[in-house]
Amino acid sequence: MLRRTQHVISLPVWVLDMIAKMRARLAGVVARPLASAAMRRFVHDQNGASAVEFAMVAAPFLALIFAILQTALVFFASQVLETAGADSARLIMTGQAQTKGWSQTAFKDAVCARIYGLFDCAGGLYVDVKTYSAFGSINNSQLPVDASGNLQTGSFTYQPGGPGDIVVVRLIYQWPVYLSLLGFNLSNAAAGSRVLMSTVAFRNEPYGGAS
């Protein structure tokens, strides 16, 4: 009976190191395509892309829409105030307010009857009516606010004048401004508000038989 004799071959240390390095390199070569394929799948994966893109643009988009609406509302309110000022000034120009003996409160009530739900007319609208000797002496270039932007109402009076007098009617309202975005700010007064003002200058008609 023959007996096989097994011989164990002992390799040098440097050969074993070389084999280990070759195995490591081979494992890296095999793993690299797998990693690249996983990366490509991650890049091309579109699941949830719409939600992420909307989250990135939603805040500035909504802020822009709100700014547009706010600007449009301010200009619309300003136009409403201008129309109310022109209509109310005619009550003085034709002598209706004077012949009825209206006070400043009564004239303001007539103005408020021409302004609808946009305004807090009773608590936020101010009326200023002044009489001048000449049109050249009228100076309404400055807003009635101080250096801090606070509305100055101490000089507001009610002087409707008589036939042939020169009169200036001003309606003043502080409109709240809710949004200031990237330097775009509509406010020009304190407390983040914008002063809306309607100004009408005219000469009273010769009412009551005056010539």
pLDDT in tens, 132-178: 999 999 988 788 888 888 988 888 999 999 999 999 999 999 998 87
Query: Is 61 within the bounds of a domain?
Result: no
Please identify every stretch of the chain with a pLDDT value under 70, giving residue numbers as ranges. 1-19, 23-51, 181-184, 209-211
Q: Over the range 63-79, which residues count as b (16 or more CB within 10 Å of their CB) and which as e?
A: eeeebeebeeebeebbe
Q: Which of 193, 191, 151, 198 is nearest to 175 (CA)?
A: 193
Question: Which residue range is the domain that position 180 belongs to?
Answer: 75-209
* Contact predicate 201/167, CB 8 Å: yes
pLDDT in tens, 25-38: 666 655 555 556 65
* pTM > 0.75: yes or no: no
Distances (CA, A) of 33 to 18, 27, 36: 24, 11, 5
- For residue 50, what pLDDT is reported? 67
Give the Cα separation of 46 and 135 in Å (integer).
70
Query: Is 143 within the bounds of a domain?
Result: yes
Query: Is 159 within the bounds of a domain?
Result: yes
Query: Is 185 within the bounds of a domain?
Result: yes
Query: Is 50 within the bounds of a domain?
Result: no
Query: Is 92 within the bounds of a domain?
Result: yes
Instruction: Using the structure block, give the residue that is written with the tokens 């606070």.
Output: 150
In degrees and rounded to multiples of 5, residue 31 shows phi and psi of -75, -30
Query: Is 3 within the bounds of a domain?
Result: no
Q: Which of 144, 149, 169 is nearest to 94 (CA)?
A: 169
What's the domain count of the chain?
1
Query: Is 194 within the bounds of a domain?
Result: yes
